[in-house]
Structure 1
Amino acid sequence: MKSLENKVAVITGGNSGIGLATAKLFAAEGASVVVTGRRQQIVDAAVNEIGAGAIGIRGDVADPDHHRNVAEIVHERFGHADIYVANAGVNTITSSQQVSEDEYDAQFAINARGTFFGVQKIAPILRDGGSIILVGSLASDKVLDGHAVYAGTKAAIGAFARSWALEFKARGIRVNMLSPGPTETAILEKLGVAPDDRGAFIDMMSGAIPLGRLGRPEELARAALFLASDASSFVTGINLRVDGGMALL
């Protein structure tokens, strides 16, 4: 039997990168998958790639009404959810002296506000014994240049995870944080790494990782599967670092 058979999984930002890899793996393991994203064309492409009857919903995770809409659609279609992965996020690398108010607000709105209200709105339809996975970051533990605001948003997510692990204990809902290190996704370009500089950037980052390379989205997806499935049935309130050991240095 597949590990997520008859489960319903909702993944924010499931249209690309780690979120898409997770959605594909969850679907392959038998889950009915709902993904969200900001751009309809990319959401539609992801749904086609995921297959297995996946559903895509466009919206802005910083808007609580979007999360209310997602919960309503999931409830109408399936009656409940079993797994919620708060994956959507944004990172702008800027030194603290150069961070604008708009940049600060945007990162907290998407990363922290989006995570908080996503969980708040999905919780009423999440079945007892379910799993909530909050995608954090190595940056919440390790100081990285230009990451002060981003690190703050991810530290907030860690606090949410610990609080919710206790708040949801009576319902048997497990809440854990999954913290990736540098991973080979399209976010490298979004961070301003030019295609011609990609190789040098990856070599530089790999030198700072004990395992000597960047992570792959599929590796993060397998970690998420562990947290979503019964394989982690006695695990809650943890921060699972999938960073090749980078936090140790």
Structure 2
Amino acid sequence: MGKSIVVTGAGKGLGKAIARRLAAEGNTLILLGRTLSKVEAVASELGHGSYAVECDVGSPASVRAAFATVAEKTPVIDVLINNAGVYEPFTVAEATDAQIEAAVQTNYAGPIYCSREAIPLMRKGSHIINISSESINLPFVMFSLYQSSKAGLERFTETLCQELKPEGIAVTMFRAGQMMDEDSSNNWPPEIGRRFHEGNLRAGLDLRARPISSFGSVAEFFPTLINLPADVSLPIIQMEARHR
């Protein structure tokens, strides 16, 4: 029997790839995203009763409203995948209030807000998966807010895992490597992109020489992850790209 699975940031990238892969297994996907038209398009493609809900995970009010809608349609959530994130290089000295708030609220607070609302809809055997990044252990420049927000998410995940053990709800921290697909692009100003690349080169990190996996390849692991035997736990997973 299929599971009811909530995926945040499901309108593009890894979230979209995960949704596609899990829908192919007969699961029902509940797709959350800030741009309703994007997640509606994905839900229409998936079928299996999948549906879209507008949600800005960085806003507690938006998350509350989204999960209230979910609760009306889907009383039990089997899996929550906290995937939504913002990925933008900037220096602390040049950071705008909006950039700082977006990184902290979306990457760190967002999974907390979503977990808080999802837990009452979960039962023994349910599963929360938080998507982190290998970047927390690499010498990136212009990524202090992204890295620190993901590091905070990892610590939160470790603690939440212990907190929910008595309830029989599993929690996994999924640390992903560099990935993209043919539709991947960023809206960074060219000068920011140049400084980011050159700064990381000086720090000994040549991003263009590092291997890159596809979103679809990473998503292939998720059917296994959400269908683990009842006597098996995977609290921490690190997946890295490799050269073919």
TM-score calculated relative to the size of structure 2: 0.86
* Aligned residues of 2:123 and 2:168 also touching (Cα < 8 A): no
The Cα of 1:157 is off from its aligned counterpart by 0.7
The Cα of 1:38 is off from its aligned counterpart by 0.9
Give yes or no for the alignment of 1:237 onto 2:239. Answer: no
Q: Give runs of ≥4 in structure 1 deviating > 4 Å.
A: 191-194
Q: 1:74 to 1:149 in 2, by over 3 A?
A: same
Structure 1 residues not aligned, in runs of 5+: none
The Cα of 1:52 is off from its aligned counterpart by 2.1
Matches for 1:15-54 after TM superposition, within 5 Å = 15-54=11-50
The code of the aligned residue for 1:226 comes to: T
Alignment-derived partner of residue 207 in structure 1? 209
Alignment-derived partner of residue 200 in structure 2? none
Counterpart of 2:138 in 1: which secondary structure? coil
Distance of 1:173 and 1:108 partners within structure 2: 26
Alignment-derived partner of residue 216 in structure 1? 214
Distance of 2:47 and 2:11 partners within structure 1: 12
Distance of 1:96 and 1:231 partners within structure 2: 44
Counterpart of 1:189 in 2: which secondary structure? coil
Distance of 2:126 and 2:15 partners within structure 1: 19
The code of the aligned residue for 1:37 comes to: G
The Cα offsets for residues 62-103 of structure 1, whole Å up to 9 and x where unpaired, read as 112222223222222222100000000101101233223331
* Aligned residues of 1:133 and 1:224 also touching (Cα < 8 A): no
Alignment-derived partner of residue 227 in structure 1? 225
Counterpart of 1:97 in 2: which secondary structure? coil
The Cα of 1:181 is off from its aligned counterpart by 1.5
The Cα offsets for residues 139-161 of structure 1, whole Å up to 9 and x where unpaired, read as 12222121111001100110111
Q: 1:124 to 1:193 in 2, by over 3 A?
A: farther
The code of the aligned residue for 2:240 comes to: D
Alignment-derived partner of residue 55 in structure 2? 59
Counterpart of 2:224 in 1: which secondary structure? helix
The Cα of 1:166 is off from its aligned counterpart by 0.3
Distance of 1:66 and 1:80 partners within structure 2: 20
Distance of 2:189 and 2:133 partners within structure 1: 19
The Cα offsets for residues 13-67 of structure 1, whole Å up to 9 and x where unpaired, read as 1111100110111111121110011112212211122222210011211112222
CA RMSD in angstroms, aligned pairs only: 2.5
Give yes or no for the alignment of 1:69 onto 2:71. Answer: no
Q: Could you say which structure has the higher helix fraction?
A: 1
Counterpart of 1:132 in 2: which secondary structure? strand
Distance of 2:233 and 2:189 partners within structure 1: 37
Matches for 1:143-162 after TM superposition, within 5 Å = 143-162=139-158
Structure 2 residues not aligned, in runs of 5+: 198-205
Q: 1:153 to 1:232 in 2, by over 3 A?
A: farther
Give yes or no for the alignment of 1:85 onto 2:87. Answer: no
Alignment identity in percent?
23
The code of the aligned residue for 1:181 comes to: G
The code of the aligned residue for 1:79 comes to: P
Match of 1:111 among 101, 107, 111: 107
Alignment-derived partner of residue 201 in structure 2? none
Distance of 2:232 and 2:190 partners within structure 1: 40
